[in-house]
């Protein structure tokens, strides 16, 4: 790993909800919290907490030198809204198969 670049993955207890156009796409009380140098905190949600039936696989893929190759899913009006690492690097193996959304909100007080 590059000097000064760190990634941590911790089991969170935050209540994370993803809503788009009034529709709940995901809701979880057991997110994995990924903190990476230079990036915003990301919440990786277990597949059971994501309405995957609403998502269509995308042809997009990206490569992160620290996490591996990500696959993407879309909504009809929101391309590449969510991604997941199906074979992440060993350092972040816990996020395997978990979904991460660009617009996840942490619900407070609930």
pLDDT > 90: percent of the chain: 86
Is residue 103 pLDDT above 90, yes or no?
Answer: no
Residue with tokens 């907490």: 49
pLDDT digits (tens, 9 = 90+) for 58-102: 999 999 999 999 999 999 999 999 999 999 999 999 999 999 998
Domains of the chain: 7-107 (2.170.150.40)
Q: pLDDT grade, residue 104 (50/70/90)? A: confident
Averaged pLDDT for residues 6-13: 96
Mind spelling out the 3-state secondary structure of 41-98?
Answer: CEEEECHHHECHHHCEEEEEEEEECCCEEEEEEEECCEEEEEEEECCCCHHHHHHCCC
């Amino acid at each position: 790993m590059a000097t000064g670049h760190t990634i941590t993955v911790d089991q969170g207890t935050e209540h994370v909800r993803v809503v788009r156009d009034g529709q709940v796409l995901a809701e979880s009380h057991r997110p994995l919290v990924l903190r990476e140098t230079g990036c915003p905190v990301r919440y990786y949600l277990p597949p059971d907490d994501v309405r995957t039936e609403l998502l269509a696989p995308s042809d997009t893929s990206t490569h992160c030198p620290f996490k591996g190759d990500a696959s993407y899913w879309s909504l009809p009006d929101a391309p590449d809204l969510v991604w997941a690492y199906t074979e992440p690097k060993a350092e972040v193996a816990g996020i395997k198969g978990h979904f991460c959304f660009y617009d996840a909100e942490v619900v407070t007080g609930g």
